[in-house]
Amino acid sequence: MADDTAVGYENILVEVSAPIATITLNRPKVLNALSPDLIREVNEALGELDADSNVRAVVLTGGARVFAAGADISDMADRTAVDQLQRDQTGRWAGIAAFSKPLIAAVNGYALGGGCELALMCDLIIAGDSARLGQPEINLGIIPGAGGTQRWPRTAGKHAAMEVMLLGAPVTARRAYELGLVNKVVPAEMTITAAQRIARQAAEKAPLAARMAKEAVLKAFETPLAEGLAVERKSFYFLFSTEDQKEGMHAFLEKRRGVFKGK
Ligand code: DAK
């Protein structure tokens, strides 16, 4: 994607301002409810941005007022279990979780249900003080379907996870910060620029090292320690085959700032 382009999707806006890009969920009338088309577009955009070597970090936001009020209830209300199984919704969300570059959520207002799960799939979360994160699925007679029951307890612990899952009430930005769910709370009008600033910081780092670091950290949630340590070690050795490792270490020795090419 070219610089500073708003690429034409129907449910999202994508702005590339190399070395970062910003994806904005854009269904304001329904509080960015995550229709299948919106999720497909987020996946497609992330696929393109992953392949674009000019883009090194991405901000995902819902804009100034709301992140996302969850999956589109009007789309789900009359579906059967077999419908749900056959539409491979899980596969569509997996593409988002698999994005290989730093992905930073900028959350204002509600991040509920699938909206909260989408934020939790990101690598960092910057929350505006208006943010409310929660899993209200219990109020609809269902449970989270995009990782909420797994990612909440891994980050916030069992009891906080049970509280949001069983009572269906969201937590404030401040509480989410205390629980370790969000990295930083800022005034709501600064959320997106704060996230973009952090994305630019991440974009200055060595891209292959960032990719390996991200993979290794995510492995920690899926594997026993010995296996995770083996992944880390192999990635560590691999990075000594990159130009960026030579650049980074020589730049340090020469007392200058490293310039990384992702090679
Ligand atoms: N879906 C559809 N429309 C929604 C919506 C949603 N999730 N949330 C809000 N809207 C619509 C409202 O219907 C309303 O539309 P109109 O009446 O104007 O036509 C408009 O957005 C504004 O909403 P409100 O009038 O309700 O606004 P309020 O400020 O009064 O309340 C609220 C805001 C966020 C508290 C409220 O809208 C609310 O409770 N929304 C529902 C939140 C919710 O229950 N979310 C969880 C949905 S279930 C899966 C992956 C993921 C999922 C499932 C499967 N697989 C991979 C298998 C995820 C499931 C979910 O997220």
Taking only the tens place, the pLDDT of each residue in 147-193 is 999 999 999 999 999 999 999 999 999 999 999 999 999 999 999 99
Ligand 1 touching residue 216 (CB < 6 A): no
pLDDT > 70 in the chain, percent: 97
Measured by CA distance, the residue closest to atom 36 of ligand 1 is 69
Tell me, which fold does domain 207-253 have in CATH? Lyase 2-enoyl-coa Hydratase; Chain  A, domain 2 (1.10.12)
Q: Give this prediction's pTM.
A: 0.95
pLDDT for 235 equals 98
Q: What's the pLDDT at 1?
A: 54
pLDDT in tens, 16-47: 999 999 999 999 999 999 999 999 999 999 99
Higher-confidence residue of 84 and 164: namely 164
Of the residues 68, 105, 115, 117, which is catalytic? Answer: 117
Q: Give the list of residues 6+ apart from residue 110 with CB closer than 8 angstroms, or none.
A: 31, 66, 67, 68, 69, 131, 132, 170
**Ligand 1, closest atom to CA 70?**
61
Which residue, among 176, 169, 89, 93, has the nearest Cα to 137 in the 3D structure? Answer: 169
- CB atoms under 10 Å from CB of 77, counted, come to 8
Task: Write the class of the CATH domain 4-203.
Answer: alpha beta
pLDDT surpassing 50 at residue 260: yes
Q: How confident is the model at residue 4 (pLDDT cuts 50, 70, 90)?
A: very low
CA 92 to chain centre: 14
Task: Delimit the domains of the chain by residue range.
Answer: 4-203, 207-253
Q: How far is the CA of 128 from the centre of ligand 1 (A)?
A: 20
Report angle CA 156, 231, 211 to the nearest 5 degrees.
75
3-state secondary structure 77-104: CCCCHHHHHHCCHHHHHHHHHCCCCCEE
pLDDT reported for residue 156: 97
pLDDT grade, residue 7 (50/70/90)?
low
**Centre of ligand 1 from the C-alpha of residue 136, in Å:** 10
Task: Let me know if 251 is a catalytic residue.
Answer: no
Distance 90 CA to ligand 1 centre (A): 19
Residue-level pLDDT at 92: 80
Alpha-helical segments (H) within 98-239:
114-121, 148-156, 158-167, 173-178, 191-203, 207-219, 225-239
d(CA 261, CA 263): 5
Rounded to an integer, the average pLDDT of 111-135 is: 98
pLDDT tens, residue by residue, 128-149: 999 999 999 999 999 999 999 9
Quick check: 82 pLDDT over 80?
yes
Report the distance separating Cα 37 and Cα 193, nearest Å: 27
Residue 3 predicted with pLDDT over 70: no
How close is the Cα of 29 to the center of ligand 1, in Å? 11
**Ligand 1 within 6 A of CB of 72:** yes
**Per-residue model confidence (pLDDT) at position 262:** 95
Active site annotation includes 117: yes
Q: How large is the average pLDDT for residues 197-206?
A: 98
Structure token pair of residue 112: 């509920």
- Residue 71 a catalytic site member: yes
Amino acid at 47: G
pLDDT band at 73 (very low <50, low <70, confident <90, very high): very high
Residue nearest to atom 47 of ligand 1 (CA): 70
251 CB under 6 A from ligand 1?
Answer: no
**Residues comprising the chain, all counted:** 263
146 Cβ inside 6 Å of ligand 1 = yes
